[in-house]
A and B are shown apart, each in its own frame.
Chain A
Amino acid sequence: MIFTSILLVLLALLGAPLFAIIGAGALLGYQQAGVDLTAVPIEIFGIAETPILLAIPLFTFAGYVLSESQAAARLVRLSSALLGWLPGGLAMVAVATCSLFTAFTGGSGVTIIAIGALLYPALVQAGYGERFTLGLVTSSGSLGLLFAPSLPLIIYGIIAEVPIDSLFVAGVVPGVLMMIALAAFCLWRNRENRRPISEFSWPEVGAALRAAIWELPLPIVVLGGIYSGFFAVSEAAAVTVIYVLITELLIYREVPWRRLPSIIRNSMVLVGGILLILGISLASTNYMIDAQVPQKLIGVVTHYISSQTSFLLLLIAFLMLIGCILHIYSALVLIVPLILPVASRYGVDPVHLGIIFVATMELGYLLPPIGLNLYISSFRFRRPVLEVCMATLPFMLILLVAVFLIAFIPALSLALLPN
């Protein structure tokens, strides 16, 4: 058993697709437990019995269409018009627009490509240091995963069997905290450079508003609908897709119809990859629960760790380490079923755990050696990865402080929830 586990880890590290690794684990586990192996496809068929999953292809596709349009440019223009006159305003523009865009398009790094590429030259022109700019743009690209309609929160909700709207509500204050932490750091670092990029101008605000007039209602309708409980999550997803298709294909006409099949293919390839490991991990999780793996883990952990504080410290360190090597979706399906029972033993609320998990994994995007955003940024801005790492480091430390606050003050996540 130990030998096969080591073999599977080795194969994973050599680049075997994770669905095959998890699938092999589930098949071997059932085989040893004497369970008929059709249990595995039956669990995968469970994809068709989980209503909330509908939100995943719809939101993913809408995000892909949005990132093909000029929505990012309009968003940057509008927020520059509104905030650019403040000292340090452009840095705040970067933080705010990146968060909003990431919430809608997922943390695939597309934010760095779509928004970072617009902000980078503007920030440098406004007198921000190149290295500071590089770090800011790279780290902002992973903000926003705590806001609706974030895909990682939806997937956490499915795995942990926690209501997804509770997660969205719980993510608001921690998400805003991370934004404020970054924005405050930007102001402090640039306290010498207080030159605003532009005068406040009503005509420019008006023009930027007019340009974005068709897209502006989208976050209001979707976020308002979800946070107020007016829409179920999958209904909000359907509304988002229709809205995005009408604005980008019919009104702005920036995404040509003939691009549609290839956008659909690209988005569904991602969805297929995520749902396949999700489906297979349903099977492996069932096996692990049968084999009492979480109980054994609880036994080991409680032997060494007595307090909730030390558990949370260990959890954050562990998740950051995981964030170095696993993509957030893989980490969710593999790790959450294991740590959920352990965390509840230490009195950590499952909703709070979800927020800690996603917030810490946001840092994983920035961690050397394989944090995805480091590579995307290095690729997009044509800088060596090492330079991007060094530039991002101070921002990552600030976010780490925010993660500690989120972990050790549960009220930040839970206060807004009913009861």
Chain B
Amino acid sequence: MSPTDADDQLTGTGSDTGTGAANQVARGGLIERVSRWIETALLTAILLAMIGLASAQVLLRGSVGGSLAWADETLRLLVLWAAMIGAVAASRDNVHLRIDFLSRFLSPGNRRVAAVVVNLFAAGISAILAWQSLRFVNGSREFDDQVLGDWPAWPFQVVLPIAFMLIAYRYIHDIWRQFHGGTPSSGDHEA
């Protein structure tokens, strides 16, 4: 077993519901598989771009003493994108940091109820964050905010509402799956 495989299993420490990225893929339909693939592809592209740009900066600074003027800001935007898409992926893989201390003391029935409540709460907060992010992006469009010199800022900021929308969808989807034969995926993750 490679360390990462073990890591995957461990994110569900002591889990008796057996959710893991792999199971979710197996359970999901075509849309789930495709969207998961898109997440991985985007994350790969962003991280590789980040690595290329960051090491180019180090090389330039070391050799000619200068650096690309736009690179630092681009790198920071790439970090934001990696973080938000990573957060969407974390919702799918159900590995967001959480405490989950009480549910182990609940009966299976009550645990189901708790899972629904918790997922509804997470979906609601994510939806509000998506809505407020959308307002933020609209405001930025109106005021012509700019990044990287004279580029409009909003296409770079739009990752926020989209990511929170997808995260909200994920928690709704979890509830739906719970009522359609799936096991509750809100499980025994350590914060």
Contact = CB atoms under 8 A, between A and B. Distances in A.
Given A18-B99, A51-B76, A268 B129 contact: no
Interface stretch (A77-85, A133-141, A152-160, A272-280): A272-280
A11 interface: yes
Interface residues of B, number: 73
A272 to B, nearest CB: 2
Residue among A15, A245, A264 having the largest count of chain B Cβ atoms under 10 Å: A15
Interface string B36-67: 00011101100100110011011001000000
Nearest to B137: A41
A364 B147 CA distance: 42
Contacts of B19: none
A408 interface: no
Contacts of B88: 272
Interface residues of A, number: 78
A272 B80 contact: no
A15 B90 CA distance: 15
B189 to A, nearest CB: 7
B3 A266 contact: no
B82 interface: yes
B79 A47 contact: yes
Nearest to B46: A268
B7 A266 contact: yes
Interface stretch (A210-218, A325-333, A411-419): A325-333
Contact of B95 (A109, A263, A273): A273
B76 A325 contact: no
B14 A375 contact: yes
Contacts of A204: none
A372 interface: yes
A185 interface: no
Nearest to A260: B44
Interface string A303-334: 00000000000000000000001110110000
Contacts of B103: 14-15
Interface of A: 10-20, 23-24, 27, 37-38, 40-42, 44-45, 47-51, 53-54, 56-58, 61, 64, 67-68, 108-110, 113-114, 231, 234-235, 237-239, 241-242, 245, 260-266, 268-277, 279, 325-327, 329-330, 370, 372, 375-376, 379-380
Given A37-B135, A109-B7, 15 more contacts: A15-B102, A27-B128, A57-B83, A61-B47, A234-B54, A261-B43, A269-B86, A271-B86, A273-B87, A276-B90, A276-B96, A325-B191, A326-B191, A370-B190, A379-B13
11 contacts: A19-B87, A19-B97, A27-B132, A37-B132, A42-B136, A45-B157, A61-B47, A67-B3, A270-B90, A327-B190, A330-B97
Interface of B: 2-4, 6-10, 13-14, 39-41, 43-44, 47, 50-51, 54-55, 57-58, 61, 72, 75-77, 79-80, 82-91, 93, 95-103, 114-115, 117-118, 121-122, 125-126, 128-129, 132-133, 135-136, 139, 156-157, 160-161, 186-187, 189-191
